Structure 1
Amino acid sequence: MNIKRSIVTRVRVAFLAICLFAFAIIYKVGYIQFKDGDKWKELAQEKRFHYQPIFATRGNIYSNDERIMATSLPFYRVAFDPTISKDEVFRDGIDSLALQLSRFYGDRSADYYKRKIKNARLSKRKYVRINNRLINYQEKKAMAKWPIFRAGKNKGGVIFEKLDRRFLPFGSLAKRTIGFLNEDKKGAGLEFSFNRHLAGKDGEALYERMAGGNKPIYDGTEVKPLPGFDIRTTIDINLQDVAESALYKALTLNDAAHGCVILMEVSTGEIKAIANLGKAGPGVYVEDYNYAVGNQGRTEPGSTFKLASMMALLEDSDMKLTDTIDTGNGSMRIGGAVKTDTHGNGKITLQQVFEKSSNVGIAKLIQEHFGNDPQKYVDYLFKFGLHQPLGFQMNGEAVPYIKTPKDRSWSRPSLSTMAIGYELKISPLQTLAFYNAVANNGVKVQPIIVKEIKRADQVLEKFEAKVLNPKICSDETLAELKLMMEGVVEKGTAKNLKSKDYKVAGKTGTARKVIKGQYTKKYSTSFVGYFPADRPKYSCIVIIDSPNRNAQYGGDVAAPVFRELADKAYAQDLAIHAPMVRRPANVAPKLPSLHAGNQEELTLLCNKLGVSAHPVNPEEDWIRVDTQKHSVAMKPVPVKEGRVPDVKDMTLKDALYLLENQGLKVRASGLGRVKAQSVPAGVPVRKGMWITITLERNGTTTKPIAGDTVLAIARAY
């Protein structure tokens, strides 16, 4: 009996506890719903709506003659608010819309798109991403005319989210120099180094969080983004093309690990071409790293450093090029270290020591003159600025390493070893700047690769090369150094560079590679110099690292690349040959020279210039201009989906935009505006169709030179 009463009591207590807990839950729900309801509704509203950035369009990157090297093209992602349209509009258009979407994207059936949209409408979802594939501007215009969509954003619910994609019209040409910027704001090249100019200023807009994505809310509070500035580089596209092709050919011929080329204008410091290629597989080379500037390219230079040793020797002594030194059988020992030549030269002059690139000769000269005070030799290297970075415009410049007697690794052989380009490290760009100073009559200038920051035609900032050292050495030393470098090409280790058209001065280099702390039989081959030697216009350096075929010396491996690029530069620069005949200035026309293009842009230009412009149809995007006596008439240029557009008289950028958006593959030849197209306007576009457009400037066709100006323009996606 007592057990039964105990059980009943426990059940009653448990039941009472459950009831109390249930009442507590009901009370809490009511409290939250009625007492704190406003607070939680306000919090939910704050979480539901938020501001997010609208990214600005990045600025363009131009070559020295203002050809586009990198630009941003607009693409769109299609989304939809199926709850906006009225019942009858939705009912009448959903079948046709689903069929259009199925045909356009080609990935799902019409029933799939119909179910997806109807289900979203029934569940009152205000944001549905139709497809992740991006569409171009012409596709967007066509899609805006489809059922339901044609009612627009506010009545039809279609949402076109604009996204910019970076496009390189010249493909991989100068790709590593142009560089990149990833989502984490990390990158390389000009895109990274000049990001604060190119990026512009992002705007912002109110977005509503929804299943499937964020829907923009255009309530008037949105801030429009400001597009980025353009940058104009010093790069010559034609010379860049030759530099890359010559380097690629040398790398594949010698099965080398990597290489780089830099071509610079002597007096201005402007870099006209810079190419970097690394091995990605058998016979395959890509621009994987900036070996010309960065840390991976900072190596022991070898014999090209002998110019600095000879400069220090001539500055600190009264020696002449006709003085002699005995190199014996081509071998010498200093403090247990052995210096060797490829063969014995016996007693030779200082001129011949440099021409033959004698390790023994240079090592003995420096050891005999600076052996009692090696710091004095190092001080000369510091005076020449070889221990400091150049302050180059692009991020990632390597810091040179010049050993001093205070370093713990300094030993008795260090002085003679440094004299021939070992136990120190310097980048190709820093080596070139030093040689360029000799060509520039002793004035050491800072290399530059960007000339201007621009907004349209307005120059916002201009860059000129800084003078790093107004006089690197005496005029007497300069004259002797120039003779030595000319002798290297005339009768020394680079005789294969000798040309009947112009003189070259320079120095070959062959440096043994250090792998795992040991010198190996792998070499870094190089040639650095300038041309024409009697009136220097360009300086150039070529590095070919670890050639694996029979050729192992700078004169055999690197010098041919120098020759090919020098021939091209000399051929196209008429100022080197003879002064150009001055032409009388043309009388400026009363009206601007307008032809064809985007109506909004040309109208804005006319307004800025105060020219009366009369559009025939203000709704048209593309027009052709008829210049009249005191005004211009704008006639529409119809662009039909699936048909070849008429791009005559348009700029290359506008022509590329229209043709690429129709799915055409484009080849362009010449400079200026389009004067002819190989496929007539109105012809139906077939898949994979190519079209060639010919451009002219001032009524004269620019003749292509050995294919350098003929471009194969790939699609951006």
Structure 2
Amino acid sequence: MSEVKKDILSRIGLLYTGMMIFSVIILGRILYLQLVEGSYWKSKAFQVSQKNIIIPPMRGDILSSDGRILATSIPFYEIRIDFRAEGLKKDTFYKHVDSLSIYLSRLFADKTPLDYKKELTEAYKKGNRYYLLKRKVDYPQYKQLRAMPLFRLGPNKGGFMAIQVYYRAKLYGQLGARTLGYTSSDRVVVGIEGAMDSYLRGKEGLQLMQRLSGNVWMPINNGNTKEPEDGADVVTTIDVNLQDVAHHSLMTHLQEHGAKYGCAIVMETNTGYIKAIANLQYDTTSKSYVEKFNYAIGESVEPGSTFKLVTMLTALEEGCIKLTDTINTGNGEVTYYGVKMKDSHEGGLGKISVADVFAYSSNVGTSKIATACFSKDPKVFIQRIYNLHLNEKLGLDIKGEGSPVIKDPSDSSWSGLTLPWMSIGYEVKVTPMQILTLYNAVANNGKMVKPLLIKELRRKGSVVKEFE
């Protein structure tokens, strides 16, 4: 019996010793985790239970010259469903899915109740945690959704999720749409939205959040919250009433002539403020004129007769003509190196003054002035054009300005036809805005001013920056 007792005691001793060794190992591991790896595991726990979320700022508005909103951010909701929400039970889902499908079909009128039920059931069976139900839901629709079967149970029991997003809206539709422009997620920037994006977008904020049961995140007010800084409002030079007139007048003339595209610009003479800018292009899909491209700024084209002012100014500056001088336009035809140039007036205008050459927009008269003044040294003509800055971009507030093309006598494409045809606006390219700037300088008693689309920046109604 004593042998048995000794054996039992021996085994108990071994077990006790083993337990003691195991306890020491566990205690050592605990101390190691606390003292050596403690900071690491605390940070891991923090990452799981707490996180910083970005608070997006409100994008600034784009305003007309009198403060009317041209473009603004309108809140909408993106509706999603967490079909694996902790409180969403199988019997709860199937109890409400029929009535929910009926309500959704009535609200959006885009699918039948059966279609909604089929899609919702499939998503539930797959355990979709972020199922997209609908984008661009407005606030009245959002309120109705919250009261629907299943959704009224909340995010934990009903899986309902509503993410607020903002969409950029142009409140006057197509009026100046291309000039107002847009930005995209892949950083494509167009028009005023793109040029002033750094001011409009504001600065993001940060909020520390704590995860609670049910995967609910609650903000922690620890004094380190960084509030977002909303974007500034951009005040443009655009006059809404003049923009409306320019837009519809341009559309009327394009329709009348069956033109593919056109533009219209209204500039305030002494300031250079662009009061209206319309760009319309015929869209074969919609069978209507829409704003797709900013022709006024972005496309360099042969200006045609509008360039005759340049020829007149260069000749007057050179001193080779006076407005009272007489030019013989004959029967309205002239030939240069075997190529005939004609006036639009049938039978010609005969002998007329230099002033009338410009008033009647005579091709023959203008080309004769250019050849008489500059044929011996065309470089003088080109230098005079350079003096008017027509070979330079205007450096506008928005991107995408077209580059002017002014030929030089040293160019391989220069020929005996270039000077006479350039004098009437061919073999040369400028943008409509560039040629308008020159005309505006004449109207402004010879003072050339830069076209301006942006007037000032405002924050909470106060001017914080002016543009000149």
> Does residue 1:454 correspond to 2:458, yes or no?
yes
State the 1:242 CA deviation: 1.4
- Report the AA paired with residue 364 of structure 2: V
1:190 maps to which residue? 192
SS of the aligned residue for 1:132 comes to strand
> Does residue 1:245 correspond to 2:244, yes or no?
no
State the 1:433 CA deviation: 0.6
TM alignment of 1:456-495, pairs within 5 A: 456-464=460-468
Cα distance in 2 between the residues matched to 1:237 and 1:149: 44
TM alignment of 1:365-384, pairs within 5 A: 365-384=369-388
State the 1:357 CA deviation: 1.6
2:80 maps to which residue? 79
Residue 79 of structure 1 contacts residue 160 of structure 1 at CA under 8 Å; is this kept in 2? yes
Q: 1:56 to 1:101 in 2, by over 3 A?
A: farther
Residue 425 (structure 2) aligned to one of 421, 426, 436:
421
State the 1:427 CA deviation: 0.7
Cα distance in 2 between the residues matched to 1:268 and 1:163: 39
TM-score, normalised to structure 1, is 0.52
2:416 maps to which residue? 412
Residue 54 of structure 1 contacts residue 224 of structure 1 at CA under 8 Å; is this kept in 2? yes
- Report the AA paired with residue 265 of structure 1: E
Residue 261 of structure 1 contacts residue 276 of structure 1 at CA under 8 Å; is this kept in 2? yes
Residue 209 of structure 2 contacts residue 219 of structure 2 at CA under 8 Å; is this kept in 1? no
Q: 1:337 to 1:140 in 2, by over 3 A?
A: same
Cα distance in 2 between the residues matched to 1:91 and 1:450: 58
Deviates more, 1:97-106 or 1:446-455: 97-106
Deviates more, 1:400-409 or 1:257-266: 400-409
State the 1:145 CA deviation: 5.0
- Report the AA paired with residue 103 of structure 2: F
Residue 81 of structure 2 contacts residue 133 of structure 2 at CA under 8 Å; is this kept in 1? no
Residue 257 (structure 1) aligned to one of 253, 256, 260:
260
1:498 maps to which residue? none
Q: 1:180 to 1:331 in 2, by over 3 A?
A: same
Q: 1:405 to 1:218 in 2, by over 3 A?
A: farther
Residue 77 of structure 2 contacts residue 142 of structure 2 at CA under 8 Å; is this kept in 1? yes
Q: 1:372 to 1:75 in 2, by over 3 A?
A: same
Cα distance in 2 between the residues matched to 1:383 and 1:56: 46
Cα distance in 1 between the residues matched to 2:452 and 2:316: 30
Residue 203 of structure 1 contacts residue 225 of structure 1 at CA under 8 Å; is this kept in 2? yes
1:317 maps to which residue? 319
> Does residue 1:346 correspond to 2:345, yes or no?
no
Q: 1:119 to 1:218 in 2, by over 3 A?
A: farther
TM alignment of 1:682-693, pairs within 5 A: none
1:105 maps to which residue? 104
> Does residue 1:398 correspond to 2:402, yes or no?
yes
1:308 maps to which residue? 310
Cα distance in 1 between the residues matched to 2:132 and 2:404: 55
2:61 maps to which residue? 60
Q: Indicate the structure (1 or 2) with the bigger Cα radius of gyration.
A: 2
- Report the AA paired with residue 192 of structure 2: L
Cα distance in 2 between the residues matched to 1:278 and 1:216: 51
- Report the AA paired with residue 79 of structure 2: V
Identity over the aligned pairs, expressed in percent?
Answer: 39
TM-score, normalised to structure 2, is 0.77
Q: 1:227 to 1:154 in 2, by over 3 A?
A: farther
> What is the RMSD of the two structures over their aligned residues, measured on CA atoms?
3.9
Cα distance in 2 between the residues matched to 1:334 and 1:350: 21
2:271 maps to which residue? 268
Residue 252 of structure 1 contacts residue 283 of structure 1 at CA under 8 Å; is this kept in 2? no
1:697 maps to which residue? none
Q: 1:91 to 1:319 in 2, by over 3 A?
A: closer
1:228 maps to which residue? 231
State the 1:259 CA deviation: 0.8
State the 1:455 CA deviation: 2.0
Residue 100 of structure 2 contacts residue 148 of structure 2 at CA under 8 Å; is this kept in 1? no
Cα distance in 2 between the residues matched to 1:233 and 1:67: 10
Which protein, 1 or 2, shows the higher relative CO under an 8 Å CA cutoff with sep ≥ 6? 2
Q: 1:416 to 1:83 in 2, by over 3 A?
A: closer
- Report the AA paired with residue 104 of structure 2: Y
Deviations, residues 629-666 of structure 1 (Å, cap 9, x unaligned): xxxxxxxxxxxxxxxxxxxxxxxxxxxxxxxxxxxxxx
Cα distance in 2 between the residues matched to 1:413 and 1:205: 70
TM alignment of 1:437-452, pairs within 5 A: 437-452=441-456
State the 1:176 CA deviation: 1.6
Deviations, residues 588-646 of structure 1 (Å, cap 9, x unaligned): xxxxxxxxxxxxxxxxxxxxxxxxxxxxxxxxxxxxxxxxxxxxxxxxxxxxxxxxxxx
Residue 61 of structure 2 contacts residue 70 of structure 2 at CA under 8 Å; is this kept in 1? yes
Q: 1:354 to 1:197 in 2, by over 3 A?
A: same
State the 1:111 CA deviation: 6.2
Residue 207 of structure 1 contacts residue 216 of structure 1 at CA under 8 Å; is this kept in 2? no
Residue 101 of structure 1 contacts residue 113 of structure 1 at CA under 8 Å; is this kept in 2? no
Cα distance in 2 between the residues matched to 1:117 and 1:415: 72
SS of the aligned residue for 2:171 comes to coil
Cα distance in 2 between the residues matched to 1:376 and 1:245: 42
Residue 202 of structure 2 contacts residue 229 of structure 2 at CA under 8 Å; is this kept in 1? yes
Q: 1:219 to 1:80 in 2, by over 3 A?
A: farther
Q: 1:288 to 1:246 in 2, by over 3 A?
A: same
Cα distance in 2 between the residues matched to 1:119 and 1:293: 55
Cα distance in 2 between the residues matched to 1:216 and 1:226: 26
Residue 277 of structure 1 contacts residue 287 of structure 1 at CA under 8 Å; is this kept in 2? yes
Cα distance in 2 between the residues matched to 1:326 and 1:412: 21
Cα distance in 2 between the residues matched to 1:47 and 1:411: 75
Deviations, residues 293-319 of structure 1 (Å, cap 9, x unaligned): 102xx1111111111111111122163
- Report the AA paired with residue 72 of structure 2: T
- Report the AA paired with residue 104 of structure 1: Y
Cα distance in 1 between the residues matched to 2:333 and 2:57: 65
Gap regions ≥5 residues in structure 2: 1-39, 106-110
Cα distance in 1 between the residues matched to 2:138 and 2:227: 21
Q: 1:314 to 1:111 in 2, by over 3 A?
A: closer
Cα distance in 1 between the residues matched to 2:189 and 2:464: 25
Deviations, residues 501-550 of structure 1 (Å, cap 9, x unaligned): xxxxxxxxxxxxxxxxxxxxxxxxxxxxxxxxxxxxxxxxxxxxxxxxxx
Cα distance in 1 between the residues matched to 2:419 and 2:395: 28
SS of the aligned residue for 2:463 comes to strand
Residue 294 (structure 1) aligned to one of 282, 295, 298:
298
Residue 205 of structure 1 contacts residue 216 of structure 1 at CA under 8 Å; is this kept in 2? no
Residue 183 of structure 2 contacts residue 190 of structure 2 at CA under 8 Å; is this kept in 1? yes
Q: 1:158 to 1:268 in 2, by over 3 A?
A: same
State the 1:206 CA deviation: 8.8
Residue 80 of structure 2 contacts residue 134 of structure 2 at CA under 8 Å; is this kept in 1? no
Deviations, residues 450-487 of structure 1 (Å, cap 9, x unaligned): 212222202222112xxxxxxxxxxxxxxxxxxxxxxx
State the 1:146 CA deviation: 5.5
Cα distance in 1 between the residues matched to 2:459 and 2:49: 38
Cα distance in 2 between the residues matched to 1:409 and 1:98: 74
Residue 388 of structure 1 contacts residue 399 of structure 1 at CA under 8 Å; is this kept in 2? yes
State the 1:155 CA deviation: 8.0
